Amino acid sequence: MTPPLAVDIDGTLTDGTGALDPRVMTPLREWPEPVVVATGKALPYPVALCHFVGIPTRVVAENGGAAYLEDDDELVFVGDREAAQRVVDAYRERGYDLGYGDVDLTNRWRETELAVSLDQPLEPLRELAAAEGMNLFDTGYAYHVTSPGVDKGTALEAICDRLDRSVEEFAMVGDSENDAAAFERVGHSYAVANADDAAKATADFETEASYADGFLEALDAIRSL
Ligand SMILES: O=C(O)COP(=O)(O)O
Ligand SMILES: [Mg+2]
């Protein structure tokens, strides 16, 4: 039987430039079981993706900090945004910047964590996050200052309770260390070939193809589970 599906966005539904690969739209729309889009991006991104793909809004955003299910119309936030803010303030005091300009659409709708651009120095951010007791994810797309215990795995498990499904039923496809905690919980986890070491180490399977080609390859494998 086809399992419910959890899917990451960046590096998994995209091509190497970060653009959504249009070939992912139809299989997502036609997936016969619930699809949960689980991302490090802020909430509007996966909500818009579900909207434009034409599937029910079932999303985990901010690396697990925010979760919304259309089924029960409940929006759940977890994480210490103020602690993330303190880390970022201290980073700025040292003369660094988040790297997203004045308007900063990357963080504008972020409510539980903060992201810093990859072109900014990592080590001082890592040091300041540790001093504040916060975690740091390097997704390959951004650095995220997140709260301990908040991750896609914990959020997916909470969503499963609300969907009346078990997390072990799910298959998940992803590409980076922010997917690892969910990979450990789901029954069938797939790292695309471009995935980082943490994702590959926790995934049950690795696809031969990269990016969206890897996602499509994983879907073929998942359909025949
Ligand atoms: O926002 C990021 O850094 C990565 O996003 P993703 O979890 O969809 O890959
Ligand atoms: Mg990703």
Q: What is the pLDDT of residues 141-171, one digit of tens each?
A: 999 999 999 999 999 999 999 999 999 999 9
The reply to whether 104 belongs to the active site is no
CA of 108 to the centre of ligand 2 (A): 20
CA–CA dist 126, 67 (Å, integer): 26
How wide is the angle at C-alpha 184 spanned by C-alphas 126 and 42, nearest 5°?
A: 55
CA–CA dist 64, 77 (Å, integer): 8
Enumerate residues 6+ apart whose C-beta is below 8 A from 44.
109
Tell me the pLDDT of the chain averaged across its residues: 98
Cα diameter, the chain: 54
Q: Which residues line ligand 1 (CB under 6 A)?
A: 8-11, 39-41, 139, 141-142, 176, 178
Annotated binding site for Mg(2+): 8, 10, 175, 179
pLDDT above 70 as % of the chain: 100
Atom of ligand 1 nearest to the CA of 142: 3
Q: What confidence category does residue 1 fall into, taking pLDDT thresholds of 50, 70 and 90?
A: confident
Q: Which of 75, 22, 82, 72 lies closest to 49, judged by CA?
A: 22
DSSP H or E run through 5 = strand 5-7
Inter-residue contact 84 to 19 (CB < 8 Å): no
Q: What is the pLDDT of residues 84-103, one digit of tens each?
A: 999 999 999 999 999 999 99
Domains of the chain with bracketed CATH? 5-78+150-223 (3.40.50.1000), 81-146 (3.90.1070)
pLDDT above 90 as % of the chain: 100
Read off the amino acid at residue 186: V
Q: What is the ipTM of this complex?
A: 0.99
Which is catalytic among the residues 8, 80, 151, 196?
Answer: 8
